[in-house]
């Protein structure tokens, strides 16, 4: 019944429908053991975001023309603490994807044991091929609306696809300018120089490999001598490859949005980083 209601209330948002279906299926044993959750409609409440924000983001390109994108922030659940979740800048972003990611973020954050809720945001803006100036002007326009809805005790965005240290820096600078407050806790993923944390850049890629290593240990195995394929070649994938190599594995393939490369002798990390981040 809950799933049918989600589909009815959120037409066309396939990714969100699938996320809800997967979570509800996995929660079955919990609800059977604790029927009070079903009786109190906790699951139905979880599936409905506390707040959904959609806004226009006009910005000026290098030719002086005005471009318009759409911005989103879905503040899904703050039962445990402030909403927390990344911002994604990619042409594929629409409300359904942001909702799906925000819904899963609730459970992801709860598993940390920390007092943080779940949310997600982003825009259909594509930073690829844009100059630093264009990215800066877009980020400033985006934050000019977003700042009203976030704060260290309210909602704490981070980076995601298309939003790295550069974008977070522009967003934080605009937040500081508008609010006249230096709130380091309002955005995570900042550079060390303005309140970021050490190893933040490496954490996701390293963590992925540590998780796989622990799974292998449970089967009395290790990464040593294993052939590994890594999906992606951005920030997370780069550090995942580095850690696999450190633990004795060999990454033989990686990918990006345009295709993939295979090297049976092992991906050369320095060449990959130069290709993706410099060239």
Active site residues: 120
- Alpha carbon distances (Å) from 221 to 213, 225, 249, 275: 8, 10, 12, 33
Integer Cα distance of 56 and 199 in angstroms: 34
- Alpha carbon distances (Å) from 125 to 79, 131, 188, 273: 31, 13, 20, 24
Q: Which pair of tokens denotes residue 10?
A: 């959120």
Residue bearing tokens 């394929």: 229
E strand spans, 41-129: 51-60, 66-77, 83-89, 118-123
Residue bearing tokens 């609306």: 145
Q: How many Cβ atoms sit within 10 Å of the Cβ of residue 116?
A: 20
Q: Residue 202: which of 234, 157, 247, 161 has the closest Cα?
A: 234
């Amino acid at each position: 019944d809950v799933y049918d209601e989600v589909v009815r209330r959120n037409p066309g948002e396939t990714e969100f429908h699938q996320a809800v279906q997967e979570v509800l299926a996995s929660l079955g044993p919990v609800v059977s053991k604790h029927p009070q959750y079903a009786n109190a409609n906790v699951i139905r409440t979880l599936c409905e975001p506390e707040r959904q924000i959609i806004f226009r983001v006009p910005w000026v390109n290098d030719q002086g023309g005005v471009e318009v994108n759409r911005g989103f922030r879905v503040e899904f659940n703050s039962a445990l603490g402030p909403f927390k979740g990344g911002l994604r800048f990619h042409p594929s972003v629409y409300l359904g994807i942001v909702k799906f990611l925000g819904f899963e973020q609730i459970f992801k954050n709860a598993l940390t044991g920390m007092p943080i809720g779940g949310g997600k945001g982003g825009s259909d803006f594509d930073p690829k091929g844009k100059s630093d100036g264009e990215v800066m002007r877009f980020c400033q326009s985006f934050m000019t609306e977003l700042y009203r809805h976030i704060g260290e005790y309210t909602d704490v965005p981070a980076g995601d696809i298309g939003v790295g240290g550069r974008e977070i820096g522009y967003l934080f600078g605009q937040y500081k300018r508008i609010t006249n407050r230096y709130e380091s806790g309002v955005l995570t993923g900042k550079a060390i120089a303005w309140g970021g944390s050490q190893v933040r850049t490496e954490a996701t890629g390293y963590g992925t490999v540590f998780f796989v290593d622990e799974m292998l240990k449970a089967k009395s195995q290790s990464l040593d001598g294993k052939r590994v394929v890594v999906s992606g070649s951005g920030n997370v994938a780069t550090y995942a490859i580095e850690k696999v190599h450190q633990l004795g594995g060999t990454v033989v393939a990686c990918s990006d949005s345009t295709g993939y490369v295979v090297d049976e002798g092992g991906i050369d990390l320095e060449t990959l980083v130069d290709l993706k981040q410099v060239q």
